[in-house]
């Protein structure tokens, strides 16, 4: 049986105790991610690195439904995210962090909203225009080629208009 994970944690205290968590966030508590089809399974590690920076290592996976932007039918995607964060109190601390950590702000209680952090990672990992594998998509390849013509090319070509005017004469 998997454990339900805490929504918020004090990363400094948790890192001092070198705690790791493996468990899940129930789908119904992850309200910012749309169309979840599973709980969010998640592993969290808290530690201090060689530079004494507090690190929150996050691995999460979830199944969700997306709407294909080609045929507008839903399809199921499995999303995996993995990232390392370091808690900060202000922008100056955030800017001082090495590139390999993402800053995460701690609140006035010294805690990080871990569920929000995981939800943000999932949302950021989603494609802006999700589409089916072409073999599963109900819009054929021929339609697809037509559909991918950039918007600028859809403006009528002025020479084509002239040509059609000439043809009418
Ligand atoms: Zn499709």
Tens of pLDDT along the chain (169 residues) come to: 579 999 999 999 999 999 999 999 999 999 999 999 999 999 999 999 999 999 999 999 999 999 999 999 999 999 999 999 999 999 999 999 999 999 999 999 999 999 999 999 999 999 989 999 888 888 866 665 555 555 555 555 555 555 555 655 5
**What's the 117 CA to ligand 1 centre distance in angstroms?**
30
**Number of C-beta neighbours around residue 145 at 10 A:** 9
**What's the 67 CA to ligand 1 centre distance in angstroms?**
8
* CA distances to 35, 128, 161, 162, 165 from 168, in Å: 53, 44, 11, 10, 5
Q: What is the pLDDT of residue 103?
A: 97
**What's the 147 CA to ligand 1 centre distance in angstroms?**
12
**What's the 65 CA to ligand 1 centre distance in angstroms?**
12
**What's the 81 CA to ligand 1 centre distance in angstroms?**
24
**What's the 148 CA to ligand 1 centre distance in angstroms?**
14
**Radius of gyration, alpha carbons of the chain:** 24
Q: What is the pLDDT of residue 154?
A: 53
Q: Using the 8-state DSSP alphabet, how is residue 12 labeled?
A: H
Please tell me the distance from the alpha carbon of residue 165 to that of residue 59, in angstroms, as a whole number: 62
Please tell me the distance from the alpha carbon of residue 137 to that of residue 144, in angstroms, as a whole number: 10
Q: What is the rounded (10 degree) CA torsion for 26, 122, 59, 9?
A: -60
Q: What is the pLDDT of residue 150?
A: 54
**What's the 73 CA to ligand 1 centre distance in angstroms?**
6
**What's the 169 CA to ligand 1 centre distance in angstroms?**
44
């Amino acid at each position: 049986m998997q454990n339900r994970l805490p929504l918020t944690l004090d990363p400094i205290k948790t890192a001092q105790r070198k705690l790791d968590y493996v468990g899940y966030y129930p789908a119904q508590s992850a309200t910012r991610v749309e169309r979840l089809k599973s709980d969010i399974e998640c592993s969290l590690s808290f530690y201090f690195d060689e530079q004494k920076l507090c690190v929150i290592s996050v691995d999460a996976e979830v199944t969700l439904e997306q709407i294909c932007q080609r045929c507008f039918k839903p399809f199921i995607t499995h999303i995996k995210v993995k990232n390392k964060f370091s808690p900060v109190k202000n922008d100056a601390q955030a800017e001082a962090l090495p590139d390999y950590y993402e800053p995460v702000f701690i609140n006035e209680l010294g805690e990080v909203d871990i569920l929000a952090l995981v939800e943000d990672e999932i949302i950021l990992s989603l494609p802006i225009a999700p589409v089916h594998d072409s073999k599963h998509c109900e819009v054929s390849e021929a339609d697809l080629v037509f559909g991918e013509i950039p918007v600028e090319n859809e403006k009528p070509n002025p020479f084509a208009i002239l040509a059609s005017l000439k043809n009418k004469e």
